[in-house]
């Protein structure tokens, strides 16, 4: 009887020993990782899942190990060695300092100008940025959500574009959900397009609902929008719209020649512009002009609008 108990004990101890050896072997197995990785905000499991998508050979077990070691850093982390043991890698995730710099996308800015800005500030190839954007972006314009992004000092053009589009997509989905809409729907595209016109035309956030009402009122009456801001697309973001531009621009952005909104957004929009597009002020305004104080002066009749133009130029 005693011999049988001893055998059982030895068998249990053997299993435990095998498990310990297996676990140690697992901890000492090699992890291969990109030089720079991004750790998003959220749970440990979310961090592991994101790293898996980035090509790192991690598994669910690693989430439990990581929890015992501590909380992973958030943001961009530099991995000095492309290969290291699993335990070293997981420990590094909890101790490494995030490396990044801030890049700000201003509301109302076009993607073309933003790409040039990133090329200059991060010493990246503008052509490769364009190539990556054209490859991964759903729309020609309006894909990015304006805010300050933390970007590592060393990152490839394609990885940067994918990261910014992914982060913006999450924020856009969350914003659309607030209005019970699908961010991928045609209706939402129209709202973002309208928002982009508001963004370009409004003198301030408080001014946005009034610009929104003018857009709606003119469209209802079958009038062309005739708004200069729609011609500040792409590389023309900061250029003054001249009579020659209006005559010669044959793109769908030219609201002097085409009725309704442009087919696509003119720029990247803020949540304030989106809210104004969905909740316009209740007015019968059809015209506005920038007054001497920089604020818009609105009117419902062309005769009044003409007087406002004269007063603004005195």
Confidence at residue 38, expressed as pLDDT on a 0 to 100 scale: 85
Confidence at residue 41, expressed as pLDDT on a 0 to 100 scale: 81
Confidence at residue 1, expressed as pLDDT on a 0 to 100 scale: 55
Confidence at residue 253, expressed as pLDDT on a 0 to 100 scale: 96
Say how far apart CA 32 and CA 215 lie, in whole Å: 54
What is the sign, positive or negative, of the torsion defined by CA atoms of 220, 221, 223, 229?
Answer: negative
Confidence at residue 209, expressed as pLDDT on a 0 to 100 scale: 98
Q: What would you report as the CA-atom Rg of the chain, rounded to the nearest whole angstrom?
A: 28
* Predicted confidence pLDDT, tens digits, the chain (314 residues): 556 666 677 777 778 888 888 889 989 999 999 888 888 888 888 888 889 988 899 998 998 898 888 888 888 888 888 898 999 999 998 888 778 888 899 999 999 999 999 999 888 999 999 999 999 999 999 999 999 988 887 789 999 999 999 999 999 999 999 999 999 999 999 999 999 999 999 999 999 999 999 999 999 999 999 999 999 999 999 999 999 999 999 999 999 999 999 999 999 999 999 999 999 999 999 999 998 788 899 999 999 998 988 887 77
Confidence at residue 73, expressed as pLDDT on a 0 to 100 scale: 81
Say how far apart CA 168 and CA 101 lie, in whole Å: 18
Confidence at residue 96, expressed as pLDDT on a 0 to 100 scale: 83
Confidence at residue 305, expressed as pLDDT on a 0 to 100 scale: 92
Instruction: Measure the CA angle with vertex 110, ends 107 and 112; round to 5°.
Output: 145
Domain boundaries, the chain: 25-95, 101-178, 195-313
Residue matched to tokens 């310990």: 20
Confidence at residue 6, expressed as pLDDT on a 0 to 100 scale: 65
Residue matched to tokens 């699908």: 182
pTM higher than the cut 0.85: no
**Alpha carbon of 243 to those of 152, 231, 233: distances in Å?**
43, 11, 16
**Alpha carbon of 104 to those of 23, 113, 149, 154, 275: distances in Å?**
45, 12, 6, 17, 21
């Amino acid at each position: 009887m005693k011999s049988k108990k001893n055998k059982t004990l030895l068998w249990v101890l053997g299993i435990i020993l095998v498990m310990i050896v297996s676990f140690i072997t697992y901890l000492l197995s090699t992890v291969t990782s990109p030089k720079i990785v991004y750790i998003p905000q959220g749970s440990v499991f979310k961090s592991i899942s994101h790293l898996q998508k980035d090509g790192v050979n991690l598994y669910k077990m690693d989430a439990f190990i990581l929890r015992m070691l501590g909380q992973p850093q958030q943001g961009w982390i530099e991995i000095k060695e492309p290969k290291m043991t699993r335990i070293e890698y997981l420990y590094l995730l909890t101790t490494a300092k995030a490396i990044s710099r801030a890049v700000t996308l201003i509301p109302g800015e076009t993607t073309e100008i933003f790409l040039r800005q990133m090329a200059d500030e991060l010493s990246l190839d503008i052509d490769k940025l364009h190539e990556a954007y054209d490859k991964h972006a759903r729309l020609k314009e309006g894909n990015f959500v304006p805010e300050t992004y933390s970007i590592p000092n060393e990152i490839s053009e394609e990885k940067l574009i994918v990261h910014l589009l992914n982060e913006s997509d999450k924020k856009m989905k969350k914003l659309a959900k607030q209005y019970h809409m699908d961010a991928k729907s045609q209706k939402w595209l129209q709202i973002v397009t309208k928002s982009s016109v508001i963004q370009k035309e409004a003198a301030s956030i408080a001014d946005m609902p009034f610009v929104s009402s003018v857009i709606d009122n003119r469209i209802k009456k079958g009038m062309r929008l005739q708004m200069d801001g729609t011609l500040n697309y792409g590389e023309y973001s900061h250029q003054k719209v001249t009579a020659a531009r209006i005559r010669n621009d044959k793109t769908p952005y030219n609201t002097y020649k085409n009725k309704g909104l442009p087919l696509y957004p003119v720029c990247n929009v803020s949540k304030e512009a989106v809210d104004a597009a969905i909740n316009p002020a209740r007015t019968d305004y059809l015209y506005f002009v920038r007054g001497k104080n920089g604020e818009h002066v609105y009117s419902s009749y062309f005769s009044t609008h003409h007087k406002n133009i004269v007063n603004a130029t005195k």
